[in-house]
Amino acid sequence: FDRLIRSMHDLMIVTDRNGLVRSINQSTQDTLLYDENYLRDKYVQDLITLQVDDHDWFAEISRRAKKFTADIEILSYKKQRLPMAMSCSPLFLDDELDGFILLLLDNSERIEAEKQKALAFAQSRMLNDELKHANTTMEEKNLELEKAYTQLKNSQSQILQQEKMASIGQLAAGVAHEINNPINGIINY
């Protein structure tokens, strides 16, 4: 059993019912750089803070004596706050609460992935907004082009009508001239 606990990759902390550390596994020592004897004098609630709330999480779980999971930060020997996912389960001895076992898993990769995902969603929303703006602008330009095209067709129709009228006028003038020349010749003769 000891070999199994020592070979675990996850961090493990066992506390008494008040949160005083009883033992830790080798991964906890390697990650936090604390000696097990040093931690035996410490309360787990002094090492761990929840990422979501600031309430006294340990008092709450010791009162309810139920399993508790949360994203936490644990304080290392070098005063670094390491992000972890924690699962805390009560330990019972003869149906009485005897302590707690805390399993901690490094979730810095998950947190980084969530940050990247949030950044990607923000960029996607920004690009979506830009696309909506570009579509609105393009629709406005299309309406303007349609209006200009309609005006151009109307102008073209008017010009064509004016050219027809001018041609008819020239034709009438030519016909009148052709009729007027022989009539003038007849009148003069």
* pLDDT tens, residue by residue, 41-87: 889 988 888 877 666 788 888 888 888 888 888 888 888 888 999 99
Q: What is the DSSP string of the chain?
A: -HHHHHH-SSEEEEEETTSBEEEE-HHHHHHH---HHHHTTSBHHHHEEESS--S-HHHHHHHHT--EEEEEEEE-TTS-EEEEEEEEEEEEETTEEEEEEEEEEE-HHHHHHHHHHHHHHHHHHHHHHHHHHHHHHHHHHHHHHHHHHHHHHHHHHHHHHHHHHHHHHHHHHHHHHHHHHHHHHHHH-
- Residue 87: beta bridge partners? 69, 103
Between 28 and 2, residue with greater pLDDT: 28
- Report yes or no on whether pTM surpasses 0.85: no
Strands 96-106 and 11-16: antiparallel
pLDDT at 130: 95
Mean pLDDT value across residues 162-178: 88
pLDDT at 54: 63
Res 167 pLDDT > 80: yes
Mean pLDDT value across residues 135-151: 94
Res 113 pLDDT > 70: yes
Residue 78: phi, psi to the nearest 5? Answer: -85, 15
Mean residue pLDDT across the chain: 88
Res 102 pLDDT > 90: yes
- Residue 74: beta bridge partners? 48, 82
Strands 48-50 and 81-93: unpaired
